[in-house]
């Protein structure tokens, strides 16, 4: 009886851990953006957050969803992509409203102008939605045409996770150019690192497609490189501490 009770407790614990891990996998990706969202709302200033982050994550997660039509992966990862897309659209909406409220005299730009010099710098949230919808329809049509090609499907999956893995590289390059990490939240970087490490471990344990965990390892490497920049530039400052971080510098968050 004691052994039976012990195994029941272990079983309950395993199920509890499984549910917690699943919840962390689905919702963990949006957590770093919650304080960023609140900070932008409070300060009415979106200069510290690059909307190109939203672009990268939207493209990556749309491609990942399309990849699932050719190569099955866990439903939890599908929900993760859906929630991340919704999160990035919410961030875009906030940043667009704040930026336009601050730049009342700026000429309005729209998606249908097809002016590449102002790509992803439009004046209305509706323009971003039009772009996302156009990309989704085009990518879905191409995927439908080549869905029977194993090479195309595997390439699509790799492109999806590789795009997401490269999310930190603009911030890495920005820090290198500035020779400083001022204006970047260390708390955010630590959250990215812990989240990406957990995600990569989850991919390995659940035997996700090889593209997922290879790019996950790459993403963790980028995160740790950014943390090394934090240490290096604080220990060996190479420019005056006070400088301005431009809106165009891409970053995952503040």
* Structure token digits, residue 142: 């191409």
Element (H, E) at 82: helix 75-102
* Token pair belonging to 145: 């045409």
As a whole number of Å, the end-to-end CA separation of the chain is 56
Q: What is the pLDDT of residue 219?
A: 87
Please, are residues 26 and 80 in contact by the beta-carbon 8 Å criterion? yes
Closest to 88 measured CA to CA, from 53, 140, 123: 53
Question: For residue 116, what pLDDT is reported?
Answer: 86
Instruction: List the one residue out of 176, 167, 254 whose CA is nearest residue 218.
Output: 167
Looking at residue 189, its pLDDT comes to: 79
In this prediction, residue 241 carries a pLDDT of 46
205: left (phi over 0), alpha (psi -120 to 50) or beta: alpha
Q: Looking at residue 87, what is its pLDDT?
A: 94
Under 8 Å between Cβ of 161 and 62: no
Cα dist. 26→30, 143, 216 in Å?
Answer: 9, 25, 15
Max CA distance (Å), the chain:
77
Q: Which residues of the chain carry a pLDDT beneath 50?
A: 241-254
**209 in Cβ contact with 71 (< 8 Å):** yes
Check residue 106 and give its pLDDT: 66
> In the structure encoding, which two tokens stand for residue 166, read together?
């490269």
pTM for the model: 0.76
CA distance 191 to 195: 6
User: 149: which 2 tokens?
Assistant: 């090609």
């Amino acid at each position: 009886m004691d052994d039976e009770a012990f195994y029941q407790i272990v079983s309950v614990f395993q199920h509890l851990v499984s549910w917690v891990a699943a919840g962390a996998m689905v919702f963990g990706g949006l957590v770093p953006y919650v304080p960023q969202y609140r900070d932008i709302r409070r300060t009415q200033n979106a200069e510290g957050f690059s909307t190109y982050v939203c672009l990268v994550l939207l493209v990556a997660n749309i491609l990942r969803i399309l990849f699932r039509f050719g190569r099955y992966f866990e439903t939890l990862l599908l929900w993760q992509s859906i929630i991340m897309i919704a999160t990035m659209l919410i961030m875009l909406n906030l940043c667009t409203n704040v930026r336009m409220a601050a730049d009342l005299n700026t000429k309005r730009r729209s998606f249908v102008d097809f002016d590449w010099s102002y790509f992803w710098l439009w004046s209305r949230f509706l323009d971003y939605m039009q772009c996302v919808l156009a990309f989704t329809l085009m990518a879905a049509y191409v995927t439908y045409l080549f869905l029977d090609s194993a090479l195309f499907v595997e390439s699509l999956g790799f492109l999806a996770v590789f795009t997401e893995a490269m999310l930190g590289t603009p911030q890495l390059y920005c820090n290198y150019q500035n020779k400083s990490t001022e204006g970047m939240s260390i708390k955010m970087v630590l959250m990215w690192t812990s989240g990406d490490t957990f995600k990569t471990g989850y991919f390995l344990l659940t035997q996700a497609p090889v593209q997922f965990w290879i790019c996950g390892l790459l993403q963790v490497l980028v995160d740790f490189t950014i943390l090394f920049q934090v240490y290096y530039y604080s220990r060996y400052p190479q420019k005056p501490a006070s400088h301005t971080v431009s809106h165009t510098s891409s970053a995952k968050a503040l």
